[in-house]
Chains A and B, each alone.
Chain A
């Protein structure tokens, strides 16, 4: 992995390293040459690692007290909230941690979209990222079922019923998922098992994600290839570590506000009512981070096609490296793409908004237009734009763009947006 051979200084270190090159790995990680112009949008990789570890640790703790049984799950959650030492704190961190995790992952994804980080030679990193994102959604959904409140129960019913849209075998698959004729105790116990498993799968994929990243190295705001190590790069430690640490702390302040001062604002009141198979809540809404996809699902008036549209909306991202035909990575040098990028951001936010609204009247119309635009962006705008767009001149090195003094006025002008 490393360009230079590393030899430990101590005799024991050398002996150990010859047998298990952990020290070489540690040395690679600390010395890893990172573009020095990375802005704060690049700190979300570190923040996401923190989120994953937080969820795993608090989740392990909760699993020590939680009882995965339809008759006892709700009670055991209340037991955690009331009697377990610091149980309320740990549960609120875990519940809000899921939201913070998604907040961070969306920023991470949209950063990648803006700076073209998914493009060659980083397609594998991107696709692993999409798989991680899918697993996160599965884990979040199953985790939301565990407290066995009304939203848990009905959310589980609605989402598992999506599979019934599959022709011929759909009903059989749903019964198999449930382990019965409705969402019930067998469903709860298997969801608990999978909810426990998935984070470790994610952890494994994160290792691959980082491994794949360390082969070509980081993209950067200018989007050009960086010779490494060179004067365009800095060692990961301490430069990037401290910068990630600073951003992480800012993020933790926001996190703490949610946990300590409005721990239930991101949840839904109905989930404090114990699951009742006889009564459906008036409004079934998924957690905020799934709303855009929920809106896409509901905007299609056909059951099967709705499910297909929703899944395609996620899977289309995996094809992005090939749909985007532009040779230039960073949106900084793509004036038109930049406009479309912000339209996409707005489009997704609109989808999220209408996803929370009743699927009727104007909301439905907006959802349909926004869904159509979402696909249009990836299937038409990106391929055409890459071929037609007149891009701005790209600097030859980071140092040139950072230090300015470039004879090219366009580059000097773009300095501002590069450095944020």
Chain B
């Protein structure tokens, strides 16, 4: 029994180690306390709402979020804007629709069921407008990067002057957290860039944290439900395991004491 647990434990550590080792050569990321980590982790609603503001006002001019719909902004476990707020947000975007009865495409104000409006028609257009680099879609960006939220959070604050000896081409910037240190996105954030409606001071650090939280939710919209269900499931399993353990003892006691 003891050996059994030991081995399971060892294998889990081994697997975890394997995984970490894949990204081992990266630099130390900046750390911050994320409210959504841990057994009971939940998103900070206000941070999500602020993060959405940063995304719309800053990121969305180049980065799409094609898997999100405006209705998601009102859903439980997300930024939880009110129904009316969300409708107003959706209506503030022009959505291409059609064809109408005459066969023409037309634009109309967005509805809750619409997907987030994309900044470019397609990948090629996005590349053409950005010096050949495609600004990646942000829907699952956090899950698509080895360092996850810490990486995004650090990257947004990682712009520096290049160290001596490093020359940069036009349209290339130095970022100490980027793989290879060369990034085609210019530093986007500066203190006071957005004006938060809740009065929070919009420092670069604050905006990075808010928008990263927003991106985490975008990539994992059911995270809160998952944590809640997980806790219940594990407590349930432990109770059942204990019951089965004693039942097992009872049954095996018919023939011998040891199981």
A-side interface residues toward B, CB under 8 Å? 36, 39-41, 75, 78, 81-82, 88-89, 92, 99, 103, 107, 234, 238-239, 242-243, 245-247, 249-250, 252-254, 256-257, 259-261, 263-266, 268-270, 272-273, 282-283, 285, 288, 291, 349, 352-353, 356-357, 402, 419-420
Contacts and interface: CB of A to CB of B under 8 A. Distances in A.
B251 A36 contact: no
B8 interface: yes
Interface of B: 1-4, 7-8, 11-12, 14-19, 21-22, 39, 67, 72, 136, 139-140, 143-146, 148, 179, 219, 221-222, 225-227, 229-231, 233-234, 237-238, 240-241, 244-245, 247-248, 251-252, 255-256, 258-259
A263 B222 CA distance: 12
A256 B236 CA distance: 11
Contacts of A253: 234, 237-238, 241
A261 B244 contact: no
B4 A40 contact: yes
Contacts of B15: 99, 265-266, 288
A249 B244 contact: yes
Main secondary structure of the interface of A (DSSP, over half): helix
A253 B8 CA distance: 12
Given A82-B67, A260-B229, A264-B143, A238 B237 contact: no
Contact of B21 (A270, A356, A402): A356
A260 B15 CA distance: 17
A40 B1 contact: yes
A82, A88, A103, A282: most-surrounded residue (chain B CB, <10 A):
A82
Contacts of A92: 226
Contacts of A36: 255-256
Contact of B247 (A242, A264, A285, A357): A242
Contact of A265 (B16, B140, B219): B16
Contacts of A250: 8, 241
Contact of A356 (B2, B11, B18, B146): B18
A285 B17 CA distance: 14
Contact of A242 (B221, B233, B248): B248
B69 to A, nearest CB: 9
Contacts of B221: 82
A257 to B, nearest CB: 7
Contacts of B144: 269-270, 272-273
Contacts of A261: 39, 227, 230
Contacts of A107: 7
Nearest to B218: A82
A192 B32 CA distance: 42
A272 B140 contact: yes
A246 B240 CA distance: 9
Q: Top 6 nearest A-B pairs by Cβ distance?
A: A260-B230, A272-B144, A249-B241, A272-B143, A40-B4, A242-B248
A234 B256 CA distance: 11
Contact of A246 (B19, B72, B226, B248): B248
A246 B230 contact: no
A387 B89 CA distance: 80
B240 A257 contact: no
B138 to A, nearest CB: 11
Contacts of B238: 253
A357 B234 contact: no
Contacts of A260: 226-227, 229-231, 233-234
Contacts of A242: 244, 247-248, 251-252
B96 to A, nearest CB: 19
